[in-house]
Amino acid sequence: LNIALLAGDGIGPEVIDQAVKVSNAVAKKFNHEISWTAALTGAAAIDAVGEPYPDSTHEICMAADAVLFGAIGHPRFDNDPTAKVRPEQGLLKMRKALGLYANVRPTFTFPSLIDNSPLKRERIEGTDLIILRELTGGIYFGERGRSEDGNTAFDTCTYTKDEVVRLAKLGFEMAMTRSKKLCCVDKANVLETSRLWRQTVQAMEKDYPEVTVSYEFVDAVAMRLVQWPASYDVLITENLFGDILTDEASVISGSMGLMPSSSIGVHTSLFEPIHGSYPQAAGKDIANPLATVLSAAMMFEDAFGLKEEAELIREVVNKSLAEGIVTEDLAGKNKAYKTSEVGDWLA
Amino acid sequence: LNIALLAGDGIGPEVIDQAVKVSNAVAKKFNHEISWTAALTGAAAIDAVGEPYPDSTHEICMAADAVLFGAIGHPRFDNDPTAKVRPEQGLLKMRKALGLYANVRPTFTFPSLIDNSPLKRERIEGTDLIILRELTGGIYFGERGRSEDGNTAFDTCTYTKDEVVRLAKLGFEMAMTRSKKLCCVDKANVLETSRLWRQTVQAMEKDYPEVTVSYEFVDAVAMRLVQWPASYDVLITENLFGDILTDEASVISGSMGLMPSSSIGVHTSLFEPIHGSYPQAAGKDIANPLATVLSAAMMFEDAFGLKEEAELIREVVNKSLAEGIVTEDLAGKNKAYKTSEVGDWLA
Ligand SMILES: CC(C)[C@H](C(=O)O)[C@@H](O)C(=O)O
Ligand SMILES: CC(C)[C@H](C(=O)O)[C@@H](O)C(=O)O
């Protein structure tokens, strides 16, 4: 198993370390050999070589069967979104270069953590949804610029039918393995790109007669995600809407520190926790590594087809929650374990 | 007081009727004379004259000191966002024609309704925020289109510095009358228009030295609105982000049926409940009229400077809640009153 390891910034390296420990333990048990290749990204890469996604890192990712990613972002860039070189540019460059067209973001609940949710128990219980966010198109990658005097700015959102088909196909297929409900999220009452999305998905319905498709406007979904999250199953949407909705969805479960994600690509796939680089906690050995460990589980299952291995990781994570072998964010009044202690215990 | 009355579709006419009753009662008490001029809009206008915002309606609005608006939208348009004539087009045309550049959307809680919120009491308590949404620019009004073969679509988001200044000025002024906290919501790590927003607001900070300004990305705000809504005061943002965030904010209070809004314009101002046309309830005399009645209160205060009159309306609304003179959505196990009965009681 040939894995590129992009630890990134902040708590990235610490949580990645635990996922490596756990992955190695699983590999040993099942007689797999993992070859890890570390590469620079984010602010760490800017410091080292002047850019956030260097060619050397790209080559390592292209040669890998999967990429395990930590987090990127550093506070020194926060108040200057116009800085010439920024960690996020590396992220966008990487997504485009690796063709990571579909970001898969599950939101589910852990029974023992349900009271961490900002939502009432009866609202959040039973929530198990997946948002599929298109990740290499839309307004993120369209033309943008300024007028000569700098006083007028523009951004362009573009989509092609093929981009929509590629993402929607994944959505339909995922819905088939779940409850056969698919929700296409758009703003087709205003945007031309949204109308293209809706027409394209409508035309695909006949190929998946068992899937019930609904079409909802993004503003309505932003509401219903808070009101009745358990009513959703698989949602598909474009890049910017997906950015907003996946983050909104991530906090409703109360288990943000545990949510894994994957990005499915043309050249390889990438697996990462959904939380950020949490710079305040960096170097303190207190960050919760479970989202990264669960991202490694997703990697075993989705990138390598190793379902049993993935299940074993999920089982031991559940066990750590049940036995209270957790970091301070989950410990409540009980003993809080260090990041590395949780990793050791899991391994 | 010269008021244009645009009842619109669905429950629009019923809730508007109650706001008219209450406004007339207040006017009588304070010796004002109101001249109401009804005009067609929405699906009702499409049926009558073939377009959702006819010139005759525009003339009536232009001649008025304020517009009181019900709701628009009809289910027969729902599954066909590409229909040539749609109620929403009327809404967008009206916003542009009347120069309604700032949508003011408060989210606050009523102590007696706090348990209706999907959020836990301790999360929602104390929430009192206002989102100022830019309403006549951005991707809603930019160029859009298709390639010749129909397989590529695009939308353009454009902003000028003047548009940002106009909206931000309102935000700073509003913050000055409240807790002096302003949050500028953008996606400046990706979008050029967002960078223009951020730079423009940053340059205005020196004119309002007492206001503390924060800059947050839209995805982060979508999270924090659910986690810690009470931590916000005044938020300013562009059109599409505002569409999503105002709707998200509207459901967290648990009092969606009570939330008023205004749209501040160059030519006149418009006041409307934030809920939709709720077609399933149309004609049944069961819809909650309080959001529309509270929109009339906003109109008295903001359009006519009649603060005492506005306060009296708010007081009587609070009294109706306290005494349980409410429609079925708020009645719980108690007697539910009809829309018209609530209106009569308030008047
Ligand atoms: C950092 C930023 C460019 C990025 C995005 O908007 O895609 C982030 O918010 C995410 O969702 O991964
Ligand atoms: C109907 C639609 C065009 C409109 C918008 O997106 O502005 C609505 O969602 C709103 O927020 O008033």
Mind listing the pLDDT tens digit for each residue in A132-157? 999 999 999 999 999 999 999 999 99
A83 falls in which pLDDT band (50, 70, 90)? Answer: confident
Q: Specify the ligand 1 atom closest to the Cα of A243.
A: 11
A87 falls in which pLDDT band (50, 70, 90)? Answer: confident
High-pLDDT (> 90) share of chain A, %? 91
**Model-wide pTM > 0.85:** yes
The token pair at A148 is: 């000569």
Shortest distance between the Cα of B246 and any Cα of chain A, in A, equals 8
Lowest mean pLDDT among A75-89, A205-219, A254-268: A75-89
Cβ-nearest to A157 among B119, B139, B251 = B139
Domains contained in chain A, CATH given: 1-98+267-347 (3.40.718.10), 102-257 (3.40.718.10)
Cβ-contact A192, B144 below 8 angstroms: yes
Residue A137 has what DSSP assignment?
Answer: S
Contact A157 B156 (CB under 8 A): yes
Residue A119 has what DSSP assignment?
Answer: B
Q: What is d(CA A187, CA A198) in angstroms, rounded to the nearest whole number?
A: 9
Q: What is d(CA B266, CA B325) in angstroms, rounded to the nearest whole number?
A: 38
Longest dimension (CA), chain B: 64
pLDDT of B79 reads 66
C-alpha distances in Å from residue A62, one per residue of A75, A93, A135, B37:
29, 13, 18, 67
Q: Using only C-alpha atoms, what is the Rg of chain A?
A: 20
Cβ-nearest to B226 among A198, A243, A248 = A248
Pairing assessment for the beta strands B234-237 and B128-134 based on DSSP bridges: parallel
pLDDT of B83 reads 75
Contact B192 A219 (CB under 8 A): no
Q: What letter represents residue A115's amino acid?
A: D
pLDDT along chain B (347 residues), means of 10: 96 98 98 98 94 97 97 81 81 96 95 91 95 98 97 98 98 97 96 96 98 96 96 98 96 89 96 94 97 98 97 97 94 95 98
Is residue A267 left, alpha or beta, with left meaning phi > 0 and alpha meaning psi from -120 to 50? alpha
| CB of A247 shorter than 6 A to ligand 2 | no
Which residues are within 8 A (CB) of B257 and not within 5 positions of it... i.e. 6 or more apart? B275, B288, B290, B291, B327, B329, B330
Q: pLDDT averaged over chain A? A: 95
DSSP A155-190: EEEEEEHHHHHHHHHHHHHHHHTTTSEEEEEE-TTT
How many CA atoms does the CB half-sphere of A190 hold within 13 Å? 24
Give mean pLDDT, residues A299-310.
97
Shortest distance between the Cα of B213 and any Cα of chain A, in A, equals 12
SS (H, E, C) chain B: CEEEEEEECCCHHHHHHHHHHHHHHHHHHCCCCCEEEECCCHHHHHHHHCCCCCHHHHHHHHHCCEEEEEECCCHHHCCCCCCCCCHHHHHHHHHHHCCEEEEEEEEECCHHHHHHCCECHHHHCCCEEEEEEECCCHHHCCCEEECCCCCEEEEEEEEEHHHHHHHHHHHHHHHHCCCCEEEEEECCCCCHHHHHHHHHHHHHHHHCCCCEEEEEEHHHHHHHHHHCHHHCCEEEECHHHHHHHHHHHHHHCCCHHHCEEEEEECCCEEEEECCCCCHHHCCCCCCCCHHHHHHHHHHHHHHHCCHHHHHHHHHHHHHHHHHCCCCHHHHCCCCCCCHHHHHHHHC
pLDDT of A255 reads 82
- For the beta carbon of residue B300, count every other beta carbon within 10 angstroms: 26
High-pLDDT (> 70) share of chain A, %? 99
For chain B, say whether A83 makes contact (Cβ under 8 Å).
no
Nearest to B19 by CA among B299, B241, B214: B299
What's the gap in Å between B303 CA and the centre of ligand 2? Answer: 23
Return the axis-axis angle of helices B307-323 and B339-346, rounded to nearest 10°: 130
Cβ-nearest to B153 among A92, A151, A192 = A192
pLDDT of A82 reads 66
Residue with tokens 């394209």: A200
Dihedral pair phi/psi, residue B98, rounded to 5°: -90, 0
Q: What is d(CA B227, CA B212) in angstroms, rounded to the nearest whole number?
A: 21
The token pair at A342 is: 């949780």
Q: What is d(CA A144, CA B193) in angstroms, rounded to the nearest whole number?
A: 8
Residue with tokens 């939709």: B276
Q: What letter represents residue A102's amino acid?
A: A
Task: Please report which ligand is nearest the Cα atom of A243.
Answer: 1
Q: What is d(CA B247, CA A248) in angstroms, rounded to the nearest whole number?
A: 13
For chain A, say whether B88 makes contact (Cβ under 8 Å).
yes
The token pair at B344 is: 């009569």
**Alpha-carbon torsion, ordered B8, B10, B14, B19, to 10 deg:** -50
Shortest distance between the Cα of B225 and any Cα of chain A, in A, equals 9
In this predicted structure, the answer to whether residue A81 has a pLDDT above a threshold of 70 is: no
C-alpha distances in Å from residue B167, one per residue of A141, A155, B102:
27, 20, 6
Contact B226 A118 (CB under 8 A): yes
**C-beta pairs of A309-317 under 8 Å, 24+ apart in sequence:** A309/A26, A309/A27, A309/A30, A309/A32, A312/A26, A312/A29, A313/A22, A313/A26, A313/A346, A316/A22, A316/A346, A317/A258, A317/A290, A317/A293, A317/A346
pLDDT of B69 reads 98
pLDDT of A76 reads 83
Catalytic residue (one of A53, A101, A140, A232): A140
**Alpha-carbon torsion, ordered A282, A287, A290, A295, to 10 deg:** -20
Contact B191 A155 (CB under 8 A): yes
Residue located nearest, by CA, to atom 2 of ligand 1 = A88
Nearest to A254 by CA among B123, B217, B227: B227
- What pLDDT digit, counting tens, does each position of A186-234 carry? 999 999 999 999 999 999 999 999 999 999 999 999 999 999 999 999 9
Beta bridge partners of B156: A156
Q: What is d(CA B90, CA B99) in angstroms, rounded to the nearest whole number?
A: 14
pLDDT of A75 reads 83
Which residues are within 8 A (CB) of B148 and not within 5 positions of it... i.e. 6 or more apart? none
SS3 A56: helix
